[in-house]
Structure 1
Amino acid sequence: MTTAHQTLQDPLVVNGIQQLFTWILLVATPNRSWLRFVNVSALTAWMFWVYSSENLLSGTEYNENVLYRTLQGCVPLPLVMRTAAALFPPKGPGSRFLDMATAARLTIDPRAVNTPWQVRGIPSFPSYYKSRPPARVPFMLRQTVITIWQCLCLDLVFSQFRAWTSQRAFPASARELGPWDLPPGPWATSGASMLVIALIGRLGFDISYRLVSVVYAGMGVPTEDFPPLFGSIWDAYSLRNLWGNCWHQFMRLPFTATSNAITRHALRLPRSSVLGRYLTIAIVFFLSGLMHFLGAQAANIPFSGAMHFFGLSGLGLLIEITIQGLWDYFALPRPQGIWCKAIGFIWVGLCFSLVAPWYSPEWEYLFSVGAKSAWFLGAFTGKVGVPVAGVVVALSGIIVHKIFETIW
């Protein structure tokens, strides 16, 4: 029997208490309050304790509690950074005390929708909705139907990808990863694998988000609080668009708030300075790599290329920004039309083909050894067969697209 003392030692229980305590401080104390600084310090100390080797690296064998262990490792870092974001509000240190709704959104909603902290890059509601914000019934109906189709699509894609990864040989350490350690063949394989992983990740995130939005809308929460999670994939013709508009913006607030606190408040670099801008981007991608790396450690994955993947992705973005800046500096004519986007997609594809070998084996390994934890994925495809499942997904996808005006 679990005792009260053991329960209080549970990292997730402690994280929940800290989340509640942070929320209370946001409501009861002004911005830049010393109590908030103490809270950030305590959260940081707790994070280092959770990520210590004795808590995360006690074994290298995968176990079916991977979700619990990953949450145990990943909750503290975003909470630390999100709390730090409250110390440096967008309207300056003189803004008022936060109301309960705003404080709750800041600590719970990663994108802080409809608050002064709302992140950039949130997609607008599709034209399907005749009113802004969407009426409750049409919103819930559309979200539900799209979720059902996404579940069928995820079932098909994941079943085939899992079957492929179960036969793969994986590296023993991160040292064996990287483009220069692989012949050209695996480059293409890793690049294609990363596209499938991104598709699976997008489907998984979007399904969860839509289900939550339906539940909350049914409870009376305004639909305007649930704008789309992902932008259109057809806008991913630049790395800036890919990370800033097309992909979800769940971690944009804590990452950018922390990087801005370092560059603008600690180093006092002007907002418009080239050094400040470049350093902000570098810190954001470093933090993203750190969070994903620690998540891999929490899941007992014996290797992780997250730091390399996100670090090199950030470098690619800096190269893109530099080229665009030089292009504008010399007043060169900007290419227009379909050829501009075609070149952009080639650039994005080239970048990912180079950095994918660092990261795709980690997710292939996770899908391979974690198959038992996701037994329900692939059940429909396994029952009716791949050809039938493919036809069902394709036809239903066309119908859903025509009726509900979905855009990828």
Structure 2
Amino acid sequence: PVTRREFKVRAYQAFDIIFDDIFLFPLYHDVCAVIFLSIGLDESWEWPPFFGPITEAYTMRRYWSHFWQRTIYRSFGTHSSLFLRKVLRIENQRTAFARIVNAFGVFGLSAIMHAMVSAKEGGQCAWGRSMLFWIYQPCAFMLEEAVQAVWGRLKRGFGVKESGLVKGLQRVVGYCWVCAWLLWIAPTRTNSLVNCGIE
């Protein structure tokens, strides 16, 4: 069982991972936007908001695809898609299997990139362990897809209509799930970095 102290530590770790980035990255982004827009090098459409609306983060897949900043996603997504097509010979990348393999590729590359940054900051001992935070993310996607499939069958079986109330309840459950996942997964990143003296 999780003690009250452990819950507080996990909550702090999840909060720490998210909120530093939510406040700092948009600040850098906005300062650069003001500079480049004011000197006429860019147009406003080239500087969309850095993060999406947090209200869209009611699954972990949506957390990463609709809310979280996607500065490196296009690059990692392209490399992962090429690997699927050229190495694994998976042409149809819209299947559930291809999407999961692609997600593991994207988050695997992200894990390597974040581990390299940690190592550069002096945390060579965190190299493998801090990567687990990123590698585990697609596992949440698989769990979500399984639960959504079962829930969809149950709704059809019991004749539950997709009303506003049902959609609202699904979102509330989704937000609780996202919070629970982040509380559970945060120590896989933070503890290894703390043990190496980085955080």
Please, what TM-score do these two structures have when normalized by structure 1? 0.42
Instruction: Report how far residue 200 of structure 1 moved.
Output: 1.2
Distance 2:80 2:149 in 1: 22
Of 335, 339, 357 in structure 1, the residue corresponding to residue 187 of structure 2 is 357
- CA RMSD, aligned part only? 2.5
1:227 alignment counterpart: 48
Pairs within 5 Å for 1:281-296: 281-296=103-118
Instruction: Report how far residue 338 of structure 1 moved.
Output: 2.9
Distance 1:184 1:357 in 2: 15
Distance 2:99 2:146 in 1: 11
1:200 alignment counterpart: 20
Distance 2:152 2:86 in 1: 29
Deviations 1:233-259 (Å, cap 9, x if unpaired)?
222111111100111001111111111
Task: Tell me if the contact between 2:13 and 2:187 (Cα under 8 Å) persists in the aligned partners.
Answer: no
Pairs within 5 Å for 1:224-303: 224-269=45-90, 270-303=92-125
Distance 2:167 2:147 in 1: 19
SS of the residue 2:184 aligns to: helix
1:191 alignment counterpart: 11
Query: Is 1:211–2:34 an aligned residue pair?
Result: no
Instruction: Report how far residue 328 of structure 1 moved.
Output: 4.1
> Aligned AA for 1:358?
T
Greater helix proportion? 2
Percent identity of paired positions between Structure 1 and Structure 2: 19
Instruction: In structure 1, list runs of 5 or more residues that go unmatched.
Output: 1-179, 368-408
CA 1:265 to 1:302, structure 2 compared with 1: closer, same or farther past 3 Å? Answer: closer
Instruction: Report how far residue 298 of structure 1 moved.
Output: 1.2
SS of the residue 2:12 aligns to: helix
Distance 2:179 2:35 in 1: 37
CA 1:350 to 1:366, structure 2 compared with 1: closer, same or farther past 3 Å? Answer: same
The structure with the larger Rg is: 1
2:198 alignment counterpart: 366
Of 311, 314, 321 in structure 1, the residue corresponding to residue 145 of structure 2 is 321
Instruction: In structure 2, list runs of 5 or more residues that go unmatched.
Output: none
Distance 1:284 1:318 in 2: 15
CA 1:363 to 1:336, structure 2 compared with 1: closer, same or farther past 3 Å? Answer: farther
Task: Tell me if the contact between 1:190 and 1:360 (Cα under 8 Å) persists in the aligned partners.
Answer: no
Deviations 1:122-151 (Å, cap 9, x if unpaired)?
xxxxxxxxxxxxxxxxxxxxxxxxxxxxxx
Instruction: Report how far residue 325 of structure 1 moved.
Output: 3.6
Of 159, 167, 171 in structure 2, the residue corresponding to residue 341 of structure 1 is 171
Please, what TM-score do these two structures have when normalized by structure 2? 0.82
Pairs within 5 Å for 1:136-175: none
- Number of aligned residue pairs: 187
